[in-house]
Structure 1
Amino acid sequence: KQGRLELFDESASDWASYEERLTTFRKFKHVPDSDKMHAFLSIIGPKTYGLLKSLRAPELPSTKSFEVLKKVMRDHSSPKPSVIGERAKFHRRCQLNGESFSEFVSERLRKLSQTCEFGSALDESFRDRFVCGLLREDIQRVLFTEASKLTFQKAVERVLAFEAAKKNANLARGCDCAVGDVHNVQAESRKTRKSCFRCCSPKHRSEACPHVNVTCFNGDKKEHI
């Protein structure tokens, strides 16, 4: 129903997403700061309340602030991963066969970077992993020569330009091949066309030969010369 927030179900949602929705719901309902903790405990349901109670035992959840209770659930549901391990996964990631450049960047590298804490080195880290992880070595070689002045955004733009140029080249070659095929068929047709047995001309068939009634040069026979 409108205006209701369902109970937290870890099989349907992660805690971080539920917490975001919980904050939005609290603002929607205009819950005052003094009632945040009570509203929180009333919404989450018996299962999550029981979990909170066991995590804070022997203290009751109602003795803690809203922010503390959220942190307890956050630490339990999504323990902070090792930055070193997350960065190792990021730097091992390469473009897969069948994976577009856009998918490699937006759906893979950006997602992996969220837990790497790169800070001010984020753009440089993106650039290095993007270039080093590309499948196409010809594009890599070009980008390696521009390393000192190459930013992540420029690298993506260059790669997308290469991709577009390749598609255009394939289209152009496709047109040329089609024209060539027509010419080849026409040439083969001319080669395989039989010459007129009456005058040896390849320009017409024997039954259309204009020399059909001419007497042969080597005798008195007609129908060939």
Structure 2
Amino acid sequence: MAAQFGIQSEFNPDVHDFDIFIRKLKSFFVANAIVNEERKRAILLNALSENAFVLLENLALPAKPENISFDDIVKLFETYYKPTRVVFAERFAFYATKKWDSETIQEYAVRLRGLATHCKFGTSLDNALRDKFICGFEKGKILDMFFTKDEHLTFQEAIQAATATDVANHSYRLPATVQVKGENIYKLDYQEVKDQRTGYRSGPRNREQSSRGQTTRFRRADTSNTNTSSGSSWRQTGMSSCKVCGGGNHGTQRCFYREYTCTFCGAKGHLRRICKKVFSMLVHPKSKGYIELRSSDPLDSPKFYANYLSDPEYHDVRTFIAAIREKQRISQSPSLKRYGAEIVDT
């Protein structure tokens, strides 16, 4: 028995495309030198799933699939699965597409070729692919590079130029260097005294010597740590920060903002700048919503249909899942564990 080349997979109409399946099957016949029509038909029928075989029986009535030639079976399936295509609808989808942030330049070029399959561009196919390939980029270095090219650029040359610019942009991105200018830092040596006349305690004055014996002195602070920021003095004294606003010169119960509501998470009792909750946000969604008029009255508010997470390729869903996984990874890092970071159910 001669060795068999290749593996013939099953055709499931719910999963596979018949045009691709039959082309692979014919290549399988060529690789194994199968020319007998009855053997071709037998292999084709054996490769059909149960649903596909039932469909073929219904298409072939009143004849039986075993009594129909291989070519006739292929014609029945091609007629049934042949989609009704409108050229202008195909071209609209071709021209409306943009390069996705999640795909590479090569993936973008391959997707464009697939969209142009049924557009019937003819001899102008290369120019159409080149123009749409360039116009699909957002503003940036790649698009600026294309503006320097002439009109004789081919589609393949455009792919190579975009790839080279993208690689150069990522390979030679130098880290930014920060130079800190060394200056003397002074801090106020606060000495609180009691006013003998009024009985109230007073703070430092803007003059070197007060009229009632209160002295305000300035001395140079320790500048050994250049990263010391304003407000670090209360941390060095052991005072805990306010859990409402983050300040260090008062307690939580005395905070002026303790009745405020956080504008980020909506919880009461703290400000947005110290909110510990982290939310995922979709910056470039692929899902598209729409707006409808509520009535003929121009003063009526319109109807909004957000259609969140409705893109057919589930790009938004995959992006959100990746963001959640990243938050889980970061929350387990030693740096955040020191501050008691944890994932809570809401």
Q: TM-score, normalised by structure 2?
A: 0.44
SS at match of 2:89: helix
What's 2:62 paired with?
58
Q: Secondary structure at the match of 2:62?
A: coil
Equivalences for residues 201-212 of structure 1 within 5 A = none
Q: Which residue of 2 aligns with 1:16?
A: 19
Contact kept? 1:37, 1:65, Cα under 8 Å: yes
Change (3 A) 1:166 1:11: same
Distance across 1 between alignment mates of 2:79 and 2:21: 14
Identity over aligned pairs, percent: 25
Pairwise CA distance, 1:121 = 1.9
Q: Judging changes above 3 Å, is the alpha-carbon distance between structure 1 residues 23 and 158 closer, same or farther for their aligned structure 2 residues?
A: closer
Match of 1:113 among 101, 104, 116: 116
Count of matched residue positions in the alignment of Structure 1 and Structure 2: 181
Change (3 A) 1:162 1:5: closer
**Are 1:95 and 2:87 matched, yes or no?**
no
Contact map agreement 2:99 2:108 (CA 8 A) in 1? yes
* Offset of residue 25 of structure 1: 4.1
Q: Is the CA contact 1:15–1:78 (under 8 Å) kept in the aligned structure 2?
A: no
Largest Rg, 1 or 2: 1
Aligned to 1:133: 136
Q: 1:133 to 1:56 in 2, by over 3 A?
A: same
Greater share of strand:
2
What is the CA deviation profile of residues 65-123 of structure 1, one whole-angstrom value per residue up to 9, with x for unaligned ones?
312211221232342533332222111111234444333222x2122123333332221
Shift of 1:137: 5.6
> Which structure would you say has the larger RCO, counting Cα contacts within 8 Å and 6 or more residues apart?
1
Partners of 2:109 and 2:133 within 8 A in 1: yes
Within 5 Å, give how 1:144-159 maps onto structure 2.
Answer: 144=147, 146-159=149-162
> Structure 1 residues 159 and 39 mapped into 2: Cα distance closer, same or farther (>3 Å)?
closer
Task: Work out whether residues 99 and 136 of structure 2, in 8 Å CA contact, stay in contact via their aligned partners in 1.
Answer: yes
Note the aligned Cα RMSD (angstroms).
Answer: 3.3
SS at match of 2:85: coil
Instruction: After TM superposition, give the deviation of residue 169 of structure 1 in Å.
Output: 5.2
**2:184 alignment partner in structure 1:** 192
Matched, 1:83 2:83: no
- The 2-side partners of 1:147 and 1:23 are apart by 44
Corresponding residue SS for 2:173: helix
Residues in 2 aligned to 1:141 and 1:114: alpha-carbon distance in whole angstroms: 29
Secondary structure of 1:9 counterpart:
coil
Instruction: Letter of the 1:127 partner, please give it.
Output: R
What amino acid is the match of 2:48?
I
What secondary structure, in the 3-state scheme, does the structure 2 residue paired with 1:116 have? Answer: coil
Letter in 2 for 1:109: L
Deviation digits for residues 175-221 of structure 1 (CA, Å, limit 9, x no counterpart):
xx33x43xx3xx41xx3399xxxxxxxxxxxxxxxxxxxxxxxxxxx
Q: Cα gap change, 1:46/1:28 in structure 2, threshold over 3 Å: closer, same or farther?
A: farther
